[in-house]
Amino acid sequence: MQGKSGETKTRRLSKAERRHQLLDTAITIVREEGADSLTLGHLAKRAGISKPVAYEHFGTRSTLLIELYRSIDAEQANALRAALTTGERGFAETADVLASTYIHCYADTSGEWHAVGAALAGSEEKEAVYQELLDGYVQLFAAVLKPHSALPLETLKQRCIGLIGAGEALSSAMVRGKCSEAEAAQTFAALIQSGLR
């Protein structure tokens, strides 16, 4: 866009667009330099903005990490929902899709989820957010698995808590190179199937 004197003007980002840009930059920093390098000052520099703008959006490094954690999780949850809401499946196929999509979400983040989680380790805020996200996955797993289970809903939800714990452990092992994505998904699918019998 050109002004009257011929100078080029750039469109100012809305608050939501700026926040999205900052979270994208933050994930790039974590991916390239590690979570320890992610500070509000470094984020501002990499995003090409002033420090006060970064502070206005997040306030503290802890808040930035939590928002990044939520953002990564939202992408994973959306991918999982999308995979699970297409077509009708039998129980074995449902377990396979649920397991492979869940594990792939972790593989797709290249370890950022675990790195950000580790940077937040021990914080009360992280525990509250983690519990909120876990509850969301329990609801999703229970809704997807209920048509294939005769268990009462509360029992099914308790089993889903255990299954998600197993999925987390397998994902973590995969990120650390202890097993392949295919091995983790296959093991998780077997646990889902045996966990509902």
**Fold of the CATH domain 66-195:** Tetracycline Repressor; domain 2 (1.10.357)
State the pLDDT at residue 11: 67
The pLDDT tens digits for 25-81 are 999 999 899 889 999 999 999 999 999 999 999 999 989 999 998 888 888 888 788
Q: Output the DSSP codes for 87-135.
A: S---HHHHHHHHHHHHHHHHHHTTTHHHHHHHHTTT-HHHHHHHHHHHH
The pLDDT tens digits for 87-140 are 678 899 999 999 998 888 777 665 676 778 778 777 777 788 888 888 988 998
Token couple for 4: 């009257």
Cα–Cα distance, 166 to 188 (Å, whole number): 7
CB–CB of 46/28 below 8 Å?
A: yes
List the chain domain ranges.
11-59, 66-195
Residue with the larger pLDDT of the pair 6 and 77? 77
CATH of domain 11-59: 1.10.10.60
Statement: residue 24 has pLDDT above 90: yes
Statement: residue 9 has pLDDT above 60: no
Place of tokens 């939800």: 157
